[in-house]
Amino acid sequence: MSPFKQDGQQQQAEVYFRAAADEWQQKAEGRVAEYNIIEARNRAVLTVLESLPDARRLLDVGCGTGQLVIAAAQRGVDSVGIDFAKEMIERCEANRQSAGVPATFVFGSFFDMPAPEQAYDVVSAQGFIEYVEPEQMEEFFARSARMLRSGGALAIGSRNRLFNLLSLNAFTEAELELGTVRQLIEQAIALHMSDSQEAAFAALRRLEQIDAQPQRYPRTGIGVDVRHQYSPAELVLRLRRHGFSPKCLYPVHFHGLPVQLKAAHPNLHAQLATLIDSIALADPRVVPFSSTFVLDVRKDP
């Protein structure tokens, strides 16, 4: 396979994450006075891992500073992390040595690494698909399906497009311009009225479609021009095409305050988000009010 060619989006992401290794380490360790999204998404993936009692191998794509890989290794899982930012991998190795666990970290692109069939029980990608184009995301799904054993889990973290309905800002305006608001509202209602994972995915089934992405993206705190967002129904549809079935949807980063008040009351915001994590780790009714989610899908037999 020829080396993966990054487009402008990935080049920007690489520049940002190479410079942000120290900041990412502080966030992952909870040393930044804000809600810890990294830890919350990792917790969801570890829950997926624990749901597969015979799981022996995990691959984390875009592993950052390696906390998920190390936590899985501490549970006796043969764990591998890959990241295209050299500084992140250097942090991973230092963290691995400090933890004293036998984990493996690889510097490079997931699209260039070998893709042996059925080599892993769990593949995780948190904060990854937002930085690749939809066509490259499809290739990621296809390669992951090849690398997972039958019944294995793919855990995908995604920025939550449904949250644009509640943020009442430039992201909401972008959805109004695209004409996607009704479809997103229908998804939000379906999830908020579902008291189980089975009911949630059954309700979403009739809403599965691929929505247009905006040509202009509101800027976020990450120094890249484009960060894609997806709804749960769109991701499930795309993943079904690669032989996956949905298992569980984990809300991450609940917003109990209006977005415009969050900055004025960061401690209260973090306390509310952490509280919801403790009582509703896998409650689909919370997803529309969360800025991120982790989707657990299983490779069909």
Q: Is residue 165 part of a domain?
A: yes
Mean pLDDT over residues 111-121, rounded?
95
Query: What DSSP state is assigned to residue 187?
Result: H
The whole-number average pLDDT for the span 39-60 is: 97
Owning domain of residue 17: 8-299
Domain membership flag for residue 52: yes
Average pLDDT over residues 96-125: 96
Instruction: Name the percent of the chain lying above pLDDT 90.
Output: 83
Q: Which position has the higher pLDDT, 6 or 33?
A: 33
The count of structural domains within the chain is 1
For residue 33, tell me if it sits in a domain. yes
Please tell me the distance from the alpha carbon of residue 67 to that of residue 159, in angstroms, as a whole number. Answer: 20
Residues 239-284: tens digit of each pLDDT: 999 999 999 999 999 999 999 999 899 999 999 999 999 999 999 9
pLDDT reported for residue 24 = 54
Q: Which of 24-28, 99-103, 114-118, 207-211 has the lowest mean pLDDT?
A: 24-28
Would you say residue 34 lies in a domain? yes
Q: With contact defined as beta carbons under 8 Å apart, do 268 and 218 qualify?
A: no
Q: pLDDT of 122-173, one tens digit each?
A: 999 999 999 999 999 999 999 999 999 999 999 999 999 999 999 999 999 9
pLDDT surpasses 50 at 2: no
Nearest residue to 208 (alpha-carbon basis) of 192, 227, 186: 186
Domain assignment of residue 101, yes or no: yes
Q: What is the pLDDT of residue 1?
A: 32
The answer to whether residue 42 is domain-embedded is yes
H-run or E-run covering 249: strand 244-254
Q: Is residue 1 part of a domain?
A: no
**Could you tell me which residues are beta bridge partners of residue 245?**
298
3 in a domain, yes or no?
no
Q: Can you give the CATH number for the domain in which 160 is found?
A: 3.40.50.150
